[in-house]
Structure 1
């Protein structure tokens, strides 16, 4: 990935962070620690430090350069606040041309339609310049908001995986969904 990705929506900018912007990620993590904990793997104390955020940003930039993953920040239009994150991960090329998408939004921005707006644009980018055929997203059955968001975005249920991922210290079931690029 040579040129920086910058996806503009009506109320957000979706892009990779630069290393010198690690403070935006750290602030997002610290402010949303309790809010995001039930939906994420258990985190170490280092995850919430500036150095931890910087390492994450550096690893994300390297992943994007190598076409292994795209950890995008969802930012306010002026770029001063991170309101959410979305990541195209587990990139598989060849005959599969697919990835998983994971996402989260800050508590204070929840319920405003910002994640729909950002994901809608990002998934179109995934099917366009990133040339994916399939984008998969999985959610815990108890996360009705996430299920509704994926349905609204055109993701279709493909299965159910018992004890799929270890989230907040527990093996959680997940509903498996995907959206396929429209041919035409």
Structure 2
């Protein structure tokens, strides 16, 4: 059985949410709705409800129990506020041992190096405890912040996918990147 992460950085505590965190997740979603909208799929109004947050947390914990995905939240050190979220999604085992990484940072924390700070131990956990060989992350070509962040983390460009994902209601091209565990 995989031990769920409880990671610490100088500014954050990183773990799976539990249902008692639903109000904190809702606050993050509502406060960052406009900030994250250009980079995410269109969201129904239900997404911004406490009920949906509880369901998202329950589904996330179930995905983790089934080793399908790990939606992690970076809280402040007092675990009162959500600073960022990131997910190791679409975990594939067997000969592949890989997943996709998605992430978002609170607007008020943008440009302060927080996403890198929380992703470094998160990725180390994915390569260590999860035993993954490859973490893939894709970004919109115009998202220069994500391009820089992924390059700083060691991700390498592997391709370009036309009309790859529907973001903000539009089929968008994406740059495909991956980070491969160095000791394999």
Q: What's the TM-score bracket when you normalise by the shorter of the two chains? A: over 0.9
- Equivalent residue number for residue 150 of structure 1: 150
CA RMSD, Structure 1 to Structure 2 (Å): 1.0
- Equivalent residue number for residue 33 of structure 1: 33
Q: TM-score, normalised by structure 2?
A: 0.98
Runs of 4+ in 1 over 3 A off after TM superposition: 1-4
Q: Aligned equivalents of 1:14 and 1:172: distance in 2?
A: 30
Q: TM-score, normalised by structure 1?
A: 0.98
- Equivalent residue number for residue 121 of structure 1: 121
Shift of 1:107: 0.3
Shift of 1:4: 3.8
Equivalent residue runs for 1:68-147 within 5 Å: 68-147=68-147
Shift of 1:176: 0.2
Indicate if the aligned counterparts of 2:136 and 2:176 stay in contact, CA closer than 8 A. yes
Unpaired runs of 5+ residues, structure 2, are none
Query: Residues 131-160 of structure 1, C-alpha deviation per residue, up to 9 Å, x if partnerless?
Result: 000000000000000000000000000000
**Greater displacement, 16-25 / 157-166:** 16-25
Indicate if the aligned counterparts of 2:5 and 2:125 stay in contact, CA closer than 8 A. no
Tell me the SS of whatever aligns to 1:182: coil
- Equivalent residue number for residue 63 of structure 1: 63
Shift of 1:114: 0.6
Q: 1:95 to 1:8 in 2, by over 3 A?
A: same
Shift of 1:20: 1.5
Tell me the SS of whatever aligns to 1:96: coil
Q: Aligned equivalents of 1:178 and 1:3: distance in 2?
A: 24
